[in-house]
Structure formats: structure tokens, C-alpha cells
Amino acid sequence: MLFVAVALCAGGLAIAGLAALLGRASRGTGSTGGVLSAPAQVLAVREISSGGGQQHWVKMQFGDGHQRELMATASQAEVMVRGQQGTVHWTGDRLTGWTPEVGRGPQDVYRSE
């Protein structure tokens, strides 16, 4: 009887986890398939080390004051500087490109990785 209760509990947790993942994707925090772009300013670039790997996150502020943090590759993060303005390209919560404003106009360093 105890085995059945444990099995039902584990199955319920697995279903709850799947539902959470599906809900996250439907809210647009996962990859949506479409690349969006908007003018923005870099607020912060940070690196998180976890389990032998590293994640790079870039916090952006848009013209309307809205802020969003996007996951970036190492090569994307290394060309972004705090305070820099330009055009950010993203899908879901992943940075797909960055075109900084340099001098009088944008310099395209768009990387689709």
C-alpha cells in the first residue's frame, strides 16, 4: 500500500512539473520562435557559474522603462557594456543579437547563435 502511495505521489509531481513547463512556454518566457527587436540600454552584464558551466545574463531597459533580463552566449555578453545603447534582438528569454550605437549610427554586431 505504501508503494502505491509513493508511486502516485511521484507521478503527480512529474505531471505538475510538465504542466509548469508548458505554462512557462505559453507565457512567453521560453522560446516563442519569433525574433523581436527594440531599442534598449544595457543595465548589467553578469556571469553565473554553476556545476562546471557558466551562464551569461544581460539586463536591458527599454524606452518605456520596462526591464528584461536575457540569457546570452559568452561571445554575445563580451561585446555588451553597461550603459551602452542600441537595438536588442531576442526570442523568449534568450538574446539572439545586439546592435550597439557607436558614434553617429549603429554598428551591426548581430550574432545569431
Cell readout for 30 is 521560453
C-alpha cell of 49?
Answer: 557559474
pLDDT of residue 50: 82
**Residue 18 pLDDT:** 40
> Could you give the angle at the alpha carbon of 86 between the alpha carbons of 83 and 89, nearest 5°?
120
The 3-state DSSP class for residue 20 equals helix
pLDDT of amino acid 16 = 46
Q: Give pLDDT, residue 63.
A: 92
Amino acid 2: pLDDT: 52
Ordered mean pLDDT values, 10 residues apiece, the chain (113 residues):
47 47 40 82 93 92 96 94 95 95 62 56
Q: Distance between CA atoms of 94 and 29, rounded to whole angstroms?
A: 9
